[in-house]
Amino acid sequence: MIQVENLHKHYGPVHALDGLNLTVEPGTVFGFLGPNGAGKTTTLRILTGLARPTSGRASVAGIDLASDGRTLSRRIGFLPEEPAFYSWMTPREFLDYLGRLHGLPSLERAARTKELLALVNLDEAGKRRIGGFSHGMRQRLGLAAALVHNPEVLLLDEPVSALDPSGRKEVLEFIETLGGKCTVLMSSHILEDVERVCSVVGIIARGRMLVQSPRQALMDRYAQPIFEAEVTEAASARRWAEMIRIQPWAAGVVVDGEVVRVTVKDIAQARREMLASAVAQEVLLRRFEETRPSLEDVFLQLVNKEAVQ
């Protein structure tokens, strides 16, 4: 559904995209990850036709982006990070207005508006003025607006980054239901959200794709076991961490105050020796546990590796 080949975008001396390659299969909820400034929003602007690449090619729903933009607009829906509305309109009026722009007949517009308002849990607010909506309500209305014309591809730019926990939960649950109904490309820097709803993940840094993989395959390949310990004194944590760093079974050590997180190469050896090393260093432990690596751990591992190259 989305194919990007060797895409470059330059803003003067700044290379926002530097040979990006990306493939998204039909029906996928694709998590497009990267640190701020990695090129995520630039990619989405190109995929929606709002920006032109410096070089390379891209297609969405089989349409080459160098072709007619009107043809593309019929096939995609787009939710920017800050969706804009006519504040004096009601959701019913706004969705009906968008349906007119997309050429939907009257009966279809009415049915589609009713369906979408129920889908995003705004049916009871359908006659209220949008100007009085909360941020979460506006995000959900933005999703409904992007879906008015039943697009084949839905492009979402940081759809939940500014929401409170309740609003995030509502929007993520809705995005999760879209899997299989349309193809979703969801740009985000919130790793927990992507891990929850996305079946495939692509990690971008410095305008290049570092890795693209089904989420579980990515975790199986890159997620290394992690031990986390909380000690009684920050000084003890630092001293113990320095000793752990030189051990052959340790892949990386991070100290955050009194908490030591250790990524290991050999989990069996780490289980045998890590607590023994704490005893040898006279480190007093409040907590010691083996944790499940998260998508965030994989993300940081790959992005930090790219940063030092």
pLDDT digits (tens, 9 = 90+) for 141-184: 999 999 999 999 999 998 887 677 877 888 888 888 888 889 99
pLDDT in tens, 58-80: 999 989 887 766 788 889 999 99
Longest alpha-carbon distance in the chain: 77
- Average pLDDT of the segment spanning 288-304: 77
pLDDT score recorded for residue 162: 67
In the structure encoding, which two tokens stand for residue 250, read together?
Answer: 């340790």
In the structure encoding, which two tokens stand for residue 197, read together?
Answer: 């709803």
Region class of 231: left (phi > 0), else alpha (psi between -120 and 50), else beta: beta
Q: How many helices (H) and strands (E) does the chain have?
A: 11, 14
> Which of 115-119, 144-148, 257-261, 305-309 is least confident?
305-309
- Crossing angle for the helix pair 106-119 and 135-146, nearest 10 degrees? 140
- 299 pLDDT tier (thresholds 50, 70, 90): confident
Please tell me the pTM assigned to this model.
0.78
pLDDT score recorded for residue 18: 93
Q: What is the DSSP string of 107-167?
A: HHHHHHHHHHHHHTT-GGGTTS-GGG--HHHHHHHHHHHHTTT--SEEEEESTTTT--HHH
- 306 pLDDT tier (thresholds 50, 70, 90): low
End-to-end C-alpha distance for the chain, whole angstroms: 32
Is the confidence at residue 56, as pLDDT, over 60? yes
Is the confidence at residue 55, as pLDDT, over 90? yes
β-sheet bridge partners, residue 228: 261, 289
- 308 pLDDT tier (thresholds 50, 70, 90): low
Pairing of strands 63-64, 208-214: unpaired
Domains assigned to the chain: 2-213 (3.40.50.300), 224-292 (3.30.70.920)
- The pLDDT > 90 percentage for the chain reads 56
Region class of 121: left (phi > 0), else alpha (psi between -120 and 50), else beta: left
pLDDT score recorded for residue 298: 77
